[in-house]
Structure 1
Amino acid sequence: MQRAVDQLDGVVKEAMQRTGVPGVAVGVVHDGKVIYLKGFGVRKVGESATVDADTVFQLASVSKPVASTVMAGAIGVDGWAKPVAPNLPDFALKDPWVTSHVTAADLFAHRSGLPDHAGDLLEDLGYDRAYVLSHLRYEPLTPFRASYAYTNFGLTAAAQAVANEKGVSWEKLSDDTLYKPAGMNSTSSRFDDFANATDRAWGHAKVDGAWKAEFVRQPDAQSPAGGVSSSARDMTTWLKLQLGNGKLDGKQIINADALERTHWPESVSNPPHAPAGRTGFYGLGWNVSYDDEGRLRLSHTGGFELGAHTNVTMLPGEQLGIVVLTNASPVGVADAVALDFFDIAQTGKVSRDWIPLVDSVYQQQTDALRSKTDYAHPPSGAAPAQAADTYAGTFENSYYGRAKVVAGTDGTLTLQLGPKPQSYRLTHYDGNTFSFQTAGENAVGPTGVTFTPDGKSFTVEYLNHEGLGTFTRSTSDQG
């Protein structure tokens, strides 16, 4: 253990040097004590303020095991098995039977049948939590409790149901159940608290090959799944609570049985890819796996493309845990630091170069969502577009809401999407097909917009993965 701790400074500094990630904070807990707690680099590129143990970072999806801790404290063991629908009047899934039976455990274990990342694109367009949760009913479902798909808003629905049952907001429930009793004074489930913190890390993304703090990720809509902010110091307190069966300094903060329940395998998240391959599981807000020695390993990664990458990993049987927080979009650093640490603790050396391996996984996930069409290069002999007025008008979509196509005096077209319309300039590609550059957390580069020849409807390619991306001209706009 001491060997691994002694090498952590070098591991972090090398990872930062290789990737250029501006700021990192790391904490390690062993046998109920914080044995390492340190910050590296700067909070914001171009400024001198340094990262320390109290610098507040956005946790992204490391919010999920934090949320499941809150849930354990709020509902105990039995509450996980209760249907959520009675406490969410506007919530429904496509199958009424599933709606009436889906539980908090189903949603926290990503086994509700909702498709991968259901609702995330609605959040990108600016819709709030209430709108997103009330529109999950349009999403197609895979077999209930027999399939796994990672959903921020499914998990958020379960958390909101419990908050409604308790008669408070999720943010207050988190404060009262976990953050205040544990003394996690720098931790919050509200974006405003993060934005107003005096010692906070700015999110960075690569822009023209350089790390820049140009974007802001406001995740309140999915706060239980991705909206927690915290410091390395507070996260080591949480790790002590996790490894101490819900107890801190002799005081039981979270019921031990309820907390243990979150650590059980619930869903097969990663089936074995070979006869002797290892199976990956998901618990209640945790990735659950078993290492080469058969020890339980609990972990979670968080990532915002707009500027955060985090990791928490625990070996409960060894009473050991590490948290790694960074202020840059995922390039492998947070996961690699944790993996290096456990490699060194176990064998004395790093087993492989983790950074490119982890980074390639993120790149594959991103690339899989990109269009296969090269919109920058229209085909030779591309058909001309029709007159701009053919396409202009107001359109409706039961899932994504209202859209407008606005024709400029110079014949240009602009697509407006979302409740506070986001404007996208349409570039002609071929015939009735145009393209625009996507934006936001789930941006996928250029995407297509294809109109029917009569201009009465159009389909947005990146919004149509589940067949929900067609907008039809409003009845009041038919003339």
Structure 2
Amino acid sequence: MPPRLQTLRLRCLFALGLSLLAPLPALAAQEAATGSAGTVQSAASFDATALDAWVEEVRERFEVPGIAVGVVKDGQVVFEGGWGVRELGRPEKVDAQTLFAIASNTKAFTAASLAMLVDEKKLSWDDRVTDHLPWFRMSDPYVTADMRIRDLLTHRSGLGLGAGDLLFWPGSDYSTTEVVQRLARVPLKTGFRERYAYDNILYATATLVIEQVSGQSYADFLQQRFFDPLGMSGTRFNVDALRPGDPAATGHAKADFTTLRPTFPLTWHNAAGAGGIYSSVHDMGRWMRAQLAGGSFTDGQGREHALFTPARQKEMWSLVSPIPIAEPAVPELAPSKPDFLGYGLGWMTSSYRGERLVWHTGGWPGMVSRVTLVPGRNLGVVVLTNQESGGAFNALTLQILDAFLQPAEKNDWIAAYAAAAEKSRAKAEEAWAKRVAARDRRSKPSLPDSAWTGTWRDAWYGDVVIEQENSRLRMRFPRSPLLTGTLEHWQHDTFLVKWDDRTLNGDAFVTFTLDADGEPREARMEAASDLTDFSFDFQDLVLKPVE
């Protein structure tokens, strides 16, 4: 999923005679010298001391407990290592093998999975989704009929930003099939293929297509087609697949946007293709090398193999959905403004200092990340973190890119992104202050608390329950246990629901309307803070009382 604070959520032929269902030989191991924070292979072209200083400055400015960085250049691992701790208050250190949720960087694996099936002529990008999932439905019959496999990956379906994410964020007991079936009632916001709007739910649909066409579970497909062949031995399909002893990091968030602490556990068992994978910079280095090599890799015996054809990679890296280019948030970020920006199939593509970038970011409760490829320089950078700071991974990525690109103009990207984060925080505080100032504290609800209790139903999400508990109004989403909180009167018939887990940072206003007889007719919700993750798509809920 895209990370928080409005960052965008963000990879040939098989050898003759090789079984398409059998795992390919593992990628040859790399020999490397050990450095202070990690491993360095090409010290002549990469200053690990400078990187150490950058990371420590980022950790301090953005309050990030642990960061891991991997850099590959010309087919070799230049650097892989870590700083800080896996969890605050515990001694375990972050290193190159530490596992983080890579979140929406999973989308590139999902796109590559479909690309493999296209190479094998088991499907076409232009197949209708209903050719493989006959029961698939969108809320518009025309979109249902013309939705192609390619459309699942390009964020231009007509769905709004993060539409349907509440079905799996912040965790629910719906199955993947149930999530996708509920798409039939998720409202569209724009015309089909009209404009870009990031979504996750269609990648859940892509997961089901992969399983239907391949005859394998998505987990088995990833393991046999990517993790085993590339030697990504530490990588796991999702958090449920973590094994005892796996060196996994813990996510951290600022409770009430103020106090940093470990956040809630989450599993995307029902949208794994959108953002489930856990990996390390060591393993992601192997993924980046294969991507930069056009989908090919060398096994332990020095033999060349391929994951997918160059034609498929060209399709995945080609811009399909243009994205409007906004002005930088602060003047210090002006040099990072791209000449073009858009989404392909599982990847973003843009420019930076005259070079084409292929990249993606990932956002998970308590963890955000970025993978960046510079094909023209055969360069790849991955930054994994266990705090919700997009500024941290962006600043480090651009500092590292500049170390290789050697621009005439030097920029302090750490200071620039810190300024942008401060501006975003100040803007959100100003917006909240305006809400508080406009609040009519003397107003009272139209009806007693008991009138709002009962079951409320939304067409696409399902049921939400409001009940009285020890003189308090409580709201809970039965299918999403973390969405349980207390309703506090705000003004008139609007309440503020404050979730019990304060690291959610997803408090929301709930506004009730009455019918002509003065009975509750409808309830609508909206996020209370501008800093709330867009995956809390409360605004799409239309809750009706259930008799």
Same-fold call, TM > 0.5?
yes
- Choose from 470, 473, 477 the match for 2:545: 473
Mapping 1:62-77, distance limit 5 Å: 62-76=105-119
Say whether residues 1:343 and 2:402 are aligned partners. yes
Is the Cα–Cα contact under 8 Å of residues 432 and 452 in structure 1 kept in the other structure?
no
Letter aligned with residue 459 of structure 1:
A
Is the Cα–Cα contact under 8 Å of residues 211 and 217 in structure 2 kept in the other structure?
yes
Alignment partner, residue 79 of structure 1: 124
| CA shift digits 1:160-215 (9 cap, x unpaired) | 21222222222222112211121111112222123745211111112364431132
Is the Cα–Cα contact under 8 Å of residues 425 and 436 in structure 1 kept in the other structure?
yes
Alignment partner, residue 81 of structure 2: 38
Letter aligned with residue 217 of structure 2:
S
Change (3 A) 1:106 1:395: same
- Choose from 465, 476, 479 the match for 1:404: 465
Alignment partner, residue 198 of structure 2: 150
| CA shift digits 1:335-390 (9 cap, x unpaired) | 2111111122222674233455378379859959x889847985143134522332
Change (3 A) 1:341 1:423: closer
Letter aligned with residue 444 of structure 2:
A
Mapping 1:387-398, distance limit 5 Å: 387-398=448-459
Mapping 1:274-423, distance limit 5 Å: 278-293=339-354, 295-304=355-364, 306-347=365-406, 350-354=410-414, 356-357=416-417, 360=420, 364=424, 367=428, 374=435, 378-408=439-469, 410=471, 412-419=472-479, 422-423=483-484
Change (3 A) 1:210 1:461: closer
Alignment partner, residue 96 of structure 2: 53
- Choose from 495, 503, 514 the match for 1:452: 514
- Choose from 191, 210, 231 the match for 1:162: 210
Change (3 A) 1:380 1:162: closer
Say whether residues 1:270 and 2:270 are aligned partners. no
Is the Cα–Cα contact under 8 Å of residues 437 and 447 in structure 1 kept in the other structure?
no
Q: TM-score, normalised by structure 2?
A: 0.78
How far has the Cα of 1:271 moved from its partner?
4.2
- Choose from 280, 304, 313 the match for 1:259: 313
Letter aligned with residue 220 of structure 1:
H
Letter aligned with residue 356 of structure 2:
L
Change (3 A) 1:120 1:317: same
Mapping 1:95-174, distance limit 5 Å: 95-124=140-169, 126=172, 127-138=174-185, 139-174=187-222
Change (3 A) 1:235 1:213: same
Letter aligned with residue 203 of structure 1:
G
Partner Cα separation in structure 2 for residue 373 and residue 448 of structure 1:
18
Alignment partner, residue 6 of structure 2: none
Is the Cα–Cα contact under 8 Å of residues 62 and 302 in structure 1 kept in the other structure?
yes
How far has the Cα of 1:279 moved from its partner?
2.5
Change (3 A) 1:57 1:195: farther
- Choose from 265, 268, 273 the match for 1:219: 268
Change (3 A) 1:457 1:65: same
Change (3 A) 1:42 1:468: closer
Q: Helix, strand or coil for the counterpart of 1:221?
A: coil
Letter aligned with residue 155 of structure 1:
Y
Letter aligned with residue 68 of structure 2:
A
Say whether residues 1:228 and 2:273 are aligned partners. no
Letter aligned with residue 491 of structure 2:
D
Partner Cα separation in structure 2 for residue 253 and residue 354 of structure 1:
36
- Choose from 472, 485, 497 the match for 1:436: 497
Aligned length, in residue pairs? 470
Q: Helix, strand or coil for the counterpart of 1:79?
A: coil
Say whether residues 1:175 and 2:223 are aligned partners. yes
Q: Helix, strand or coil for the counterpart of 2:319?
A: coil
- Choose from 278, 290, 294 the match for 1:245: 294
| CA shift digits 1:69-125 (9 cap, x unpaired) | 232223338722222223224421122222122122222111212111111122236
Partner Cα separation in structure 2 for residue 367 and residue 108 of structure 1:
31
Letter aligned with residue 31 of structure 1:
D
Is the Cα–Cα contact under 8 Å of residues 106 and 273 in structure 2 kept in the other structure?
yes
Change (3 A) 1:187 1:136: same
Is the Cα–Cα contact under 8 Å of residues 525 and 539 in structure 2 kept in the other structure?
no
Q: Helix, strand or coil for the counterpart of 1:164?
A: helix
Is the Cα–Cα contact under 8 Å of residues 406 and 413 in structure 1 kept in the other structure?
yes
Change (3 A) 1:399 1:55: same
| CA shift digits 1:19-69 (9 cap, x unpaired) | 221111111111111111111111111111111111111101111223222
The range that moved more, 432-441 or 452-461, is 432-441
How far has the Cα of 1:257 moved from its partner?
2.2
Q: Mark the runs of 5 or more structure 2 residues left unpaired by the alignment.
A: 1-43, 299-303, 329-336, 528-535
Is the Cα–Cα contact under 8 Å of residues 45 and 211 in structure 1 kept in the other structure?
no
Letter aligned with residue 458 of structure 2:
N
Partner Cα separation in structure 2 for residue 57 and residue 268 of structure 1:
30
Is the Cα–Cα contact under 8 Å of residues 110 and 155 in structure 1 kept in the other structure?
no
Partner Cα separation in structure 2 for residue 50 and residue 167 of structure 1:
40
| CA shift digits 1:251-302 (9 cap, x unpaired) | 223333222321111110234769x973311111111112332x32111111
Q: Mark the runs of 5 or more structure 1 residues left unpaired by the alignment.
A: none
Is the Cα–Cα contact under 8 Å of residues 396 and 413 in structure 2 kept in the other structure?
no
How far has the Cα of 1:130 moved from its partner?
2.3
Change (3 A) 1:394 1:16: closer
Is the Cα–Cα contact under 8 Å of residues 164 and 537 in structure 2 kept in the other structure?
no
How far has the Cα of 1:326 moved from its partner?
0.9
Partner Cα separation in structure 2 for residue 395 and residue 342 of structure 1:
51
Is the Cα–Cα contact under 8 Å of residues 4 and 341 in structure 1 kept in the other structure?
no
Is the Cα–Cα contact under 8 Å of residues 414 and 425 in structure 1 kept in the other structure?
yes
Is the Cα–Cα contact under 8 Å of residues 124 and 440 in structure 1 kept in the other structure?
no
Change (3 A) 1:423 1:48: closer
Is the Cα–Cα contact under 8 Å of residues 333 and 355 in structure 1 kept in the other structure?
no
How far has the Cα of 1:440 moved from its partner?
8.7
Q: Which has the higher contact order (CA 8 A, sep 6+)?
A: 2
Q: Helix, strand or coil for the counterpart of 2:240?
A: helix
Identity of aligned residues (%): 27
How far has the Cα of 1:467 moved from its partner?
6.6
Change (3 A) 1:116 1:6: same
Q: Helix, strand or coil for the counterpart of 2:267?
A: coil
